[in-house]
Amino acid sequence: MTKVAVTSRSFSRHEVLCGELQERYPDTRFNDEGLSLSGSGLIEFLQGCNKAIIGLEVFDHQTFAALPELKVIGKYGVGLDMIDLDAMRAGGVKLGWAGGVNRRSVSELVISFAIGLLRHVPAAQAEVRAGTWQQLIGRELTGKTFGIIGCGHVGKDVVKLLKPFGCKLLANDIKSFPDFYAAHNVRAVDIATLLEQSDVVSIHTPLDSSTRNILSAERLQLMRKDAVLINAARGGLVDEVALKSMLQEGRLGAAGFDVFHIEPPEDPELLELPNFLATPHIGGSSEEAILAMGRAAIVGLDDFGDPLEVAQS
């Protein structure tokens, strides 16, 4: 009998997903204790299992080498940066994964960030709570120039949600999407032009060696002083130290981050800035997205392929 293990804590707490998985695989081991599994603890939990559903756990060469019986991983969530895909292929482990299943959940959060920061909602709330009652004059999203770095699943969905706002849309991506850009009046530009011209910049790239610190201190300097920066993609894409200095000194209007280089974030000065909005990595955590990601992971236990090829699909 095929043995399945679920390392993800949130999947293991979800009654509907657990029930649907057990219908297919009755002999399933869940992370019922809510353990943060890593290293030897992760290996021990997966011993003897042929298939696994994983979340944010790190799978490196050592992990795959220690689990020769593991043949298939169903990925719960869209990020693959925690998996050494080369080591996975070398170990003969297949990957079941579907990109973009949480796109609407993330893109709606991005729009809420953009509106909230343009209208100074975090600062206004802080003032009201402190007993101050004064109107803060903000700006509308309508008609603004909106720059999207990374126009994949989420980036494209942000474009669609922005249609009623009549924004001028700029995009930067290593891939070309001429048909999509033409259909939605998106102008493809280099990253410097995007940063220089955008009122709002939202980043939607994966985290890898080519994108780490893609918004360096030097690139952040290109942004307009009243611009808004949003990161609901991955921590590590933005130089957070430089970002804090720019927000403190008025060299950047505002920023909203759902993800951080270290989570939970360890810089209270950044978190307490009135022009900074932080959420605890909730972009893909709507009820609808959780079900979609969980069901995609379940399907991935039976519909899988070479990890490097699947990751490029």
- Give catalytic residue positions: 234, 263, 281
Cβ burial of 68 (10 Å; 0-12, 13-18, 19+) is exposed
Residue 54's DSSP bridge partners are: 75
Q: Do residues 303 and 72 lie in contact, with contact meaning Cβ atoms separated by under 8 Å?
A: no
Q: Within 13 Å, how many C-alpha atoms sit on residue 156's CB side?
A: 16
**Residues 124-156, buried b or exposed e (16+ Cβ, 10 A)?**
beeeeeeeeeeeeebbebeebbbbbbbbbbbbb
Sign of the C-alpha dihedral computed for residues 297, 230, 204 and 271 taken in this order: negative
In angstroms, rounded to a whole number, what is the distance separating the alpha carbons of residues 187 and 159? 11
